[in-house]
Chains A and B, each alone.
Chain A
Amino acid sequence: MGLKSIRYPAGKLPSIRVYLVSMNLALLLLFTAISLLFWQQISNFYQTEQAEDIVSIHEAMQARSASLVRSMALSANQAITGYDFSFLINLMKQVTDGDQDIQYCTVLSSLGQVVAHNRVDQVGTLAGTPVDKQALALLKDEFIDDQVTDFSIQIIDTPGAVEMQSQMMQVVTPVFNGQELWGILYCGISLAGMQQSIDERTAEWDEEISRIWIFYVTVAAIFILFGFMVSLFITRRLLQAVDQLDAGVKEVSAGDLNYRLSMQGLMCAEFGTFATSFNRMTSNLESSHRTLDEYNRSLEYKVKERTVELARSNKELEAFNYSVSHDLRAPLRSIEGFSQVLSEEYQESLDETGLDYLRRVRAAASRMGVLIDDMLRLSRLGRQEMQVAEVDLSELANATLSKLAESEPERQVSFQVEPGLMIQGDRQLLAIALDNLIGNAWKYTGRREKAEIVFGKAVKEGKSCYFVQDNGAGFDMRYADKLFGAFQRLHKSSDFEGTGIGLATVARIIHRHGGSVWAESEVDAGATFYFQLP
């Protein structure tokens, strides 16, 4: 989890609002899609039912018309056989008068003469209209050629065949005189009425579909609206709960460990469990934090106590050093003075050996004096008040090098100082430090024909630092940890004179400034001393 949170910062993850809104939109789209599919099925069902209804109207119309004409044909057979023409004509007239959809009824003899017609004035005429000819063709082609002896009904559509109607259904049936095919009976039935019925039925279907559609849309709208409101309500409550949890987590993460998540309005058990666990965690965290604070406070107190003790010890030590150094000066001066008197006034009384011993005493006393002076100087460094100001290290370095060059003008030393190296610190102390570092470089390059000393600025391990570099004797890095100890020396006094207090002085000055000092070197390959100041 920790790795994931690092790889995917919370700010780049989508908000829960996006998920909830996306989910609601997806559900809405899904519902809409399902509704459309459902409506399509209903529409298909209604269209199929409507088509079947229309077909059944057609079939019923044809069946009933066929039955009527068939019945008329039975009467026609009887009438023809019995020469009952007036009955037949009357039947035609009655049938057509009684039904406005039946436009005409005709009985044609096989010779094509109109034997009976709903209009008496048409009786006796010859078949002349396209309808008559079409029907007569049936008589010749169908009923005779096919040797139809039984009753047979032919239903044909005659669109545009009759002037009065755009579409007619003509029912044709043979008329027999006994066993002999005598003629045909045919009736033209207008499909306008049926079409009107179909139109009315279609309108009823359309109205029904519209009614269902309105009902369906209304119900769907109500469901969608209700669903939307429920979804909105739940989403808002969820988001409020999430916001509440989020605010609490942020508050605690900002440091307010006293904050507790409210259980009110969290809506669901999971959030409640989360809040309870979070509050428990926060309580534990607060308790741990309080314990840590107390520990820190006791630690700080101990540090302060130790610091005070250390400071007191340092002061006592410095005071002791100072006292010792100062008190040592008096007997040392006596030794130096009396040894000088002895060497000047009793030179003839002493043999060479005595004189040699006396010289050694004087040299030791002198060296002891130097040591005491250095100890006093080192002691003062710890007690001296720091005057922090901007210090030009380049200037200090140049001054030291000039002074050294003047002291030994015979030496060939090339030195290089990076200009403009400014720093905040105590000018006097930093001058002492540079004097020691550059003085060491001068001293340990004393055996080089062409000595090189460089002072500049560098970057070590990402931090800016200053360095003094030489090509002198260098030292073995195995003893690097002893470099900055007081009176620690890595070379013999006979090789390079010194008290071993210089680098200790440098370290103390740098440490007082809050910095650090270290060195890198190889034997006979020169050395580089670095110091870093904050």
Chain B
Amino acid sequence: MHNLKRLNLGWWLLWLHLLIVPGQVTGDDGLRFYYFNPDSPQNNLGRLKSDMESLLEGFDLAIEFQPFAHLTDFDARVRSDRPAFVFAPHWYLKRNADEIRFNPLLQSVHQQQNSYRKLLVARLGSDEINRPERLTLAMTSLGPGSKQLLANMLNSDGFVAFDKLSIVEVPKDADAIFAAALGQVDVALVSQANMKLFRKINPRLIDSLKVISESTPIDMPVLGYIDGVVTKEQAAALKQFMFSSQNSTVMQTLQIEGWSSHER
């Protein structure tokens, strides 16, 4: 009987519901901290939410942390809910900062760098890469104009015909690796960190891929606040708080090493 209780269907359905539609559980009271980082090796958003909530319990203000898996969800909720704090890719904030009145506070640091690179990988033995007119590419979303952004990232050397490229947007960077390794797409644009991480986890999967090209440096995601939702003092307090938490375990969850000041 107790085994059946462990298979509590309701609990699992609720859990799945939270993963699929995370935005619906944002609270009505308190400040919100929205997170979207598709290139992070951290795929477990539940654990991320839990760790961040634990961390933020030590902050003076009550903040509700909410990670997002999909850009569309994240973007829609940022615009509708106007969270106090936002952690998002640099390209997103660069494109939408004025519109959402975003002010940067901190930039994440990985391998002592404020930037990282992405790799264009293809599955070994795949013939499709030789037929660029039918090429499909998996990558995390870059929002509107992603092909141009992609072209900028890769400093196009003629290998990819971007105008004929069919881009498959995946929720996470790791999904691009899976999509390529499992033969669902021809090529994938994945971060170096994820490739490195997956080489440890599933070397067979990474060995089935070959790196075709490497992108230009891409800025690491940025943490900032929405002007008008919190005061500068509150934002400064959070910045100071996050700085002081660089040695906490939550940094491992965020898959970053630390913060660097990043103010406009």
- Say which residue of A64, A84, A86, A200 sits within 8 Å of B7 (CB atoms): A64
Give CA–CA (A78, B20) in the complex, Å: 9
Instruction: For B16, list chain A residues within 8 Å (CB).
Output: 71-72, 75, 91
- Of B82-90, B96-104, B152-160, B197-205, the stretch lying at the interface with chain A is B197-205
Residue total for A at the interface (Cβ-Cβ under 8 A): 42
Question: When A71-B13, A75-B16 are in contact, do A87 and B69 touch as well, CB less than 8 Å?
Answer: yes
Give CA–CA (A57, B16) in the complex, Å: 26
Give CA–CA (A194, B178) in the complex, Å: 35
Q: Is A392 an interface residue (CB 8 A)?
A: no
Instruction: For A98, list chain B residues within 8 Å (CB).
Output: 12
Give CA–CA (A101, B13) in the complex, Å: 18
Q: Is B216 an interface residue (CB 8 A)?
A: no
- Say which residue of B1, B13, B181, B185 sits within 8 Å of A124 (CB atoms): B181
Instruction: For A201, list chain B residues within 8 Å (CB).
Output: 1
- Say which residue of B6, B20, B44, B179 sits within 8 Å of A85 (CB atoms): B179
Would B181 and A68 count as touching, CB distance under 8 A? Answer: no
Instruction: For A196, list chain B residues within 8 Å (CB).
Output: 3
Would A86 and B171 count as touching, CB distance under 8 A? Answer: yes
Nearest CB in chain B: distance from A253 CB, A: 79
Which residues of B, 184-217, contact A by the 8 Å Cβ criterion? 184-185, 198, 201-202, 204-205, 208
Give CA–CA (A116, B46) in the complex, Å: 19
Give CA–CA (A100, B5) in the complex, Å: 12
Which residues of A, 480-518, contact B by the 8 Å Cβ criterion? none
Would A193 and B3 count as touching, CB distance under 8 A? Answer: yes
Q: Is B25 an interface residue (CB 8 A)?
A: no
Would A68 and B7 count as touching, CB distance under 8 A? Answer: yes
Nearest CB in chain A: distance from B165 CB, A: 16
Q: Is B19 an interface residue (CB 8 A)?
A: yes
Would A83 and B1 count as touching, CB distance under 8 A? Answer: no
Q: Is A429 an interface residue (CB 8 A)?
A: no
User: Which of A90, A95, A201 gathers the greatest number of chain B CB atoms within 10 Å?
Assistant: A90
Nearest CB in chain B: distance from A368 CB, A: 143
Would B175 and A68 count as touching, CB distance under 8 A? Answer: no
Nearest CB in chain A: distance from B140 CB, A: 10
Q: Is A197 an interface residue (CB 8 A)?
A: yes
Nearest CB in chain B: distance from A407 CB, A: 138
Would A100 and B9 count as touching, CB distance under 8 A? Answer: no
Would B179 and A83 count as touching, CB distance under 8 A? Answer: yes
Q: Is B2 an interface residue (CB 8 A)?
A: yes
Question: When A68-B12, A75-B16, A90-B44 are in contact, do A84 and B170 touch as well, CB less than 8 Å?
Answer: yes
Q: Is A94 an interface residue (CB 8 A)?
A: yes
User: Which of B1, B15, B43 gathers the greatest number of chain A CB atoms within 10 Å?
Assistant: B1
Question: When A94-B15, A123-B178, A197-B4 are in contact, do A87 and B183 touch as well, CB less than 8 Å?
Answer: no
User: Which of B46, B69, B178 gathers the greatest number of chain A CB atoms within 10 Å?
Assistant: B178
Q: Is A99 an interface residue (CB 8 A)?
A: yes
Give CA–CA (A408, B58) in the complex, Å: 176
Instruction: For B43, list chain A residues within 8 Å (CB).
Output: 86-87, 89-90
Give CA–CA (A125, B208) in the complex, Å: 11
Question: When A87-B69, A99-B7, A109-B182 are in contact, do A71 and B170 touch as well, CB less than 8 Å?
Answer: no
Question: What per-residue 1/0 map shows which CB atoms of B1-40 lie under 8 Å from chain A?
Answer: 1111011010011011001100000000000000000000
Instruction: For B251, list chain A residues within 8 Å (CB).
Output: none
Which residues of A, 165-221, contact B by the 8 Å Cβ criterion? 193-194, 196-197, 200-201
Instruction: For B171, list chain A residues within 8 Å (CB).
Output: 82-84, 86-87
Instruction: For A120, list chain B residues within 8 Å (CB).
Output: 198, 201-202
Question: When A75-B20, A121-B204 are in contact, do A84 and B69 touch as well, CB less than 8 Å?
Answer: yes
Give CA–CA (A91, B12) in the complex, Å: 10
7 pairs, A vs B, C-beta closer than 8 Å:
A78-B20, A83-B168, A85-B170, A86-B43, A90-B44, A123-B181, A124-B202
Given contacts A87-B43, A201-B1, 19 further A-B contacts (CB under 8 A): A57-B1, A61-B4, A68-B7, A71-B9, A83-B184, A85-B170, A85-B174, A87-B171, A89-B178, A95-B12, A101-B7, A109-B182, A120-B198, A122-B202, A124-B181, A124-B202, A124-B204, A124-B205, A197-B1
Interface residues of A (CB under 8 A from B): 57, 60-61, 64-65, 67-68, 71-72, 75, 78, 82-87, 89-91, 94-95, 98-101, 109, 111, 113, 115, 120-125, 193-194, 196-197, 200-201
